[in-house]
Structure 1
Amino acid sequence: MPIRPYRRRRSVLYVPALNHKALAKLPALACDCVVIDLEDSIAPSRKAEARDAVKHFFETRVADGKEMVIRINALSSEWGADDLAMARQCRPDAILLPKVETARDVLDANDMLDELDARASLWLWAMVETPRAMLNLGAIAALGRDRSARLACLVAGTNDLVKDTGILATPDRRYLVPWLMQMVLAARAGDLDILDGVSNDFRDLDALGHECVEGRNMGFDGKTLIHPAQIDLANNAFSPAPAEVEDALAIRAAFALPDNADKGVISLGGKMVERLHLDQAERLLIKAGL
């Protein structure tokens, strides 16, 4: 299994597979990633039609640098296996698995991809959106340390968590925050990226802006979105500040000096800086587009 590359995932836009107008507009959008959805946004009677639409889209699209992901239906559903086989043929960057509740759910998808002889760089993302998933979060995230399991990213499914638990969805998300923090902690333990859930009212950009800032402060890598109007706010919130970029560039330059090539710790600006800070700096610079 190849080393998993780090990608900018500040803005991750869901697009229904049957929204042909939205799919046609994707090259003009500034989002980092697109998730083409075969699950919640598609009625049961149109699942096969949506699958054909996704296949046609990937056959005719011109690559524009965006990370492309396909969200399939759950493998336990009547559509999941066919979705997975079709998605593998489309050669997206990743496949998003909904309703993941145990580590076995991810491993089953991985085994099916291996049987389909999928390329090693086809990654899996996992939705965390049920109470059972929260209880098994540690075991699910631990698969990120096993490169053969393909898992690269966790996605908070906040709408389903609210529905399944019955908590009150307040504007400040106070009852969700403890679970969101658990997701961030598990993702970091598993060396995974973690994406915040959607903001449902795409016209309320103030609410979205608050959630984006809150999500970044909690440690999320980006925000899942439902409308192009939300992209700029997410990109701005999850982009590093100029001072952070300046510090990261200084760390990278310092470790690049010949005298520091074999050092694990150096002094920079009166502070001790370790190699782990170089790793953090490199990730930040990628997120900044540098």
Structure 2
Amino acid sequence: MSSLLFVPANDERKFEKASSLPCSGIVIDLEDAIHAEHKRRARASLSELIPKHRNPKQKLYVRINGLHTAFWQDDLVEVVKIRPDGIIVPKAERDLHLLDEFLVGLETSHGLVENQMKLILILETAKALVDMEPILSSCPRIDSATIGMADLSADLGASWSDIVQQTPPLLIGLREKLALVSRKLGLKAPWDSVYMQFTDAEGLRRDAMIGKRLGFQGKHVIHPSQIDVVNSVYRVSKEEYEQANAIIAKIQGQGAVQMEGFLIDEPVVKRARQIIERYEAQEVTA
């Protein structure tokens, strides 16, 4: 996985185009991209939209409205019908038991296995970031998480640009914390937050490199022009793949060896295997 592109649920043209783009997955957005007056029509369109344009090589997610709204239950009723790869929950806090209980009933009525519908949480408030570990351990269907840096900036009374675009960027410790807590809890690696200025390719690249260095699995994007930049950062190169294979070959039958001035031991071998696995997975879906 490298890039997840957000697409409004009420724009069939954009979804059809997104299905042909080199992003790892698409997020059909029922939340911020849809005005309150159009929520019902947007969610009702899912059952028609998805079968027409779904690309089996891409993951498919749906971002529902937050649990603080009056829309999330109606969202889930329609979302479960299309069986996405996951549900993205914005402004996630400690009330996830409500969503979990509601989903159990829907899974039962649709003949699905309990906890089949996995969640990606977006942590977007100071409260959520302070309470990160209790939130991420509160529900067995949580798959991974991300930080909603734009909403978090607003919650803090700061500007997104001042936090993300200035040098050095601020709140890097929150990304570090998310990586550590996710690993501790056995969740999948986190997703990195969207970069709001889609015309700033170099800024996007610098921002994406932070997540890559922390072991994130990819980055959310809001514009097709951002896909190639994010993919180039997160995708394993042929050179990295060949180097990983060379490490595996070098250490065969030995506990530790030297290679090109580096000590090669079990942690290095473990990382090499991760690189090989990721490269082979991305080649299958290319």
TM-score range, shorter chain: 0.7 to 0.9
CA deviation after TM superposition for structure 1 residue 70, in Å = 0.4
CA deviation after TM superposition for structure 1 residue 62, in Å = 4.2
Match of 1:4 in 2: none
C-alpha separation between the residues in 1 aligned to 2:280 and 2:75? 32
Distance 1:163 1:45, change over 3 A: same
1:60 maps to 2:46: no
1:158 maps to 2:149: yes
CA deviation after TM superposition for structure 1 residue 203, in Å = 1.5
Bigger mean CA deviation after superposition, 212-221 or 31-40? 212-221
Aligned counterpart in structure 2 of residue 110 of structure 1, from 94, 100, 109: 100
Q: Is the 8 A contact 2:245 2:272 kept in 1?
A: no
TM-score of the superposed pair, with normalisation by structure 1? 0.83
C-alpha separation between the residues in 2 aligned to 1:49 and 1:180? 36
Which amino acid in the other structure matches residue 154 of structure 2?
A: K
C-alpha separation between the residues in 2 aligned to 1:196 and 1:82? 28
Q: Is the 8 A contact 2:137 2:185 kept in 1?
A: yes
Match of 2:266 in 1: 273
CA deviation after TM superposition for structure 1 residue 248, in Å = 3.0
Aligned counterpart in structure 1 of residue 221 of structure 2, from 222, 225, 232: 225
CA deviation after TM superposition for structure 1 residue 220, in Å = 2.0
Q: Is the 8 A contact 2:244 2:273 kept in 1?
A: no
Match of 1:28 in 2: 20
Which amino acid in the other structure matches residue 235 of structure 1?
A: N
CA deviation after TM superposition for structure 1 residue 278, in Å = 6.4
C-alpha separation between the residues in 2 aligned to 1:79 and 1:141? 23
1:183 maps to 2:178: yes
Partner deviation per Cα, 1:133-162 (whole Å, 9 max, x = no partner)? 11110122335xx7xx11111022110000
1:39 maps to 2:28: no
Structure number with the bigger relative contact order (C-alpha 8 A, sep ≥ 6) is 1
Bigger mean CA deviation after superposition, 216-225 or 168-177? 168-177
* Aligned positions of 1:42-121 closer than 5 A: 42-102=34-94, 104-105=95-96, 107-116=97-106, 117=108, 118-119=112-113, 120-121=115-116
Match of 1:289 in 2: 283
Match of 2:7 in 1: 15
1:141 maps to 2:105: no
CA deviation after TM superposition for structure 1 residue 283, in Å = 4.5
Partner deviation per Cα, 1:184-225 (whole Å, 9 max, x = no partner)? 222222232211111112122121122112221233221110
Partner deviation per Cα, 1:95-116 (whole Å, 9 max, x = no partner)? 11111012x41x3322222111
Match of 1:127 in 2: 122
Q: Is the 8 A contact 1:167 1:175 kept in 2?
A: no
C-alpha separation between the residues in 2 aligned to 1:133 and 1:286? 35
C-alpha separation between the residues in 1 aligned to 2:51 and 2:40? 17
Which amino acid in the other structure matches residue 154 of structure 1?
A: A
Runs of 4+ in 1 over 6 A off after TM superposition: none
Corresponding residue SS for 2:17: helix
CA deviation after TM superposition for structure 1 residue 55, in Å = 2.2
Match of 1:208 in 2: 204
C-alpha separation between the residues in 1 aligned to 2:60 and 2:135? 23
C-alpha separation between the residues in 2 aligned to 1:266 and 1:141? 37
Aligned counterpart in structure 2 of residue 195 of structure 1, from 191, 199, 203: 191
Partner deviation per Cα, 1:31-57 (whole Å, 9 max, x = no partner)? 001110000111111100110122211
Distance 1:253 1:46, change over 3 A: farther
Match of 1:5 in 2: none
Partner deviation per Cα, 1:84-133 (whole Å, 9 max, x = no partner)? 1111111100011111012x41x332222211124443211111111111
Match of 1:237 in 2: 233
C-alpha separation between the residues in 2 aligned to 1:134 and 1:286? 34
C-alpha separation between the residues in 2 aligned to 1:286 and 1:165? 41
C-alpha separation between the residues in 1 aligned to 2:91 and 2:156? 14
Distance 1:181 1:51, change over 3 A: same
Distance 1:134 1:18, change over 3 A: same
Bigger mean CA deviation after superposition, 268-277 or 171-180? 268-277
What number of residue pairs does the alignment pair up?
269
Corresponding residue SS for 1:95: strand
